[in-house]
Amino acid sequence: STMTRVNVTVDGVLCSDDVEPRMLLVHYLREVVGKVGTVVGCDTSNCGACTVHVAGKAMRSCVVPVKAVAGDAVRTIEGLGGGHPVQQAWLEEQVPQCGYCQTGQIMQAVALLEATPRPTAGQIREGMNGVLCRCGTYPRIEAAVRRAADALAAKAEG
Ligand code: FES
């Protein structure tokens, strides 16, 4: 089949690859770029495990063809670098149980806090709504988002 060339910036690195025209972003990230921190949960846009950022917005990478984000900047969990305040808060609140959905949870939380640095409890619930966790870690997720918001605010104040 005909391959198509895409240029995408992934975690700050410009990637230029020939891909199947219908290749999904999640498969591109995992199989072509090697960003295996992004996972597939449901493959049908229902769970949010595959969430990454495209041009700063949280997006489900299992439903977006990589072609559709050509020219955009994509950020994955690897792009957070491990020491991001949201990742730190996740560790401090011991959020993960099985851990599978947590990439998506963290990417959703980072996007939420970038848009709404001081979210209310309601805004956290609304902002994290629809990123599913079968282990039911939701209370710890909320606590971690609150903790991360405090940490980011403290950092911003110096
Ligand atoms: Fe993409 Fe579930 S794997 S929403």
For the CA of 60, the closest atom of ligand 1 is 1
Tell me how far the alpha carbon of residue 57 lies from the centroid of ligand 1, in angstroms. Answer: 16
pLDDT category of residue 31 using cuts at 50, 70 and 90: very high
Alpha-carbon gap, residue 104 to 102, rounded angstroms: 5
What is the pLDDT at residue 158?
82
On average, the pLDDT of the chain sits at 97
Alpha-carbon gap, residue 14 to 7, rounded angstroms: 7
The per-residue pLDDT for range 116-139, each reduced to its tens digit, is 999 999 999 999 999 999 999 999
In this prediction the pTM is 0.96
Q: Is the dihedral of CA 132, 137, 138, 143 positive or negative?
A: negative
Tell me how far the alpha carbon of residue 45 lies from the centroid of ligand 1, in angstroms. Answer: 4
Percent of the chain past pLDDT 70, that is, above it, reads 99
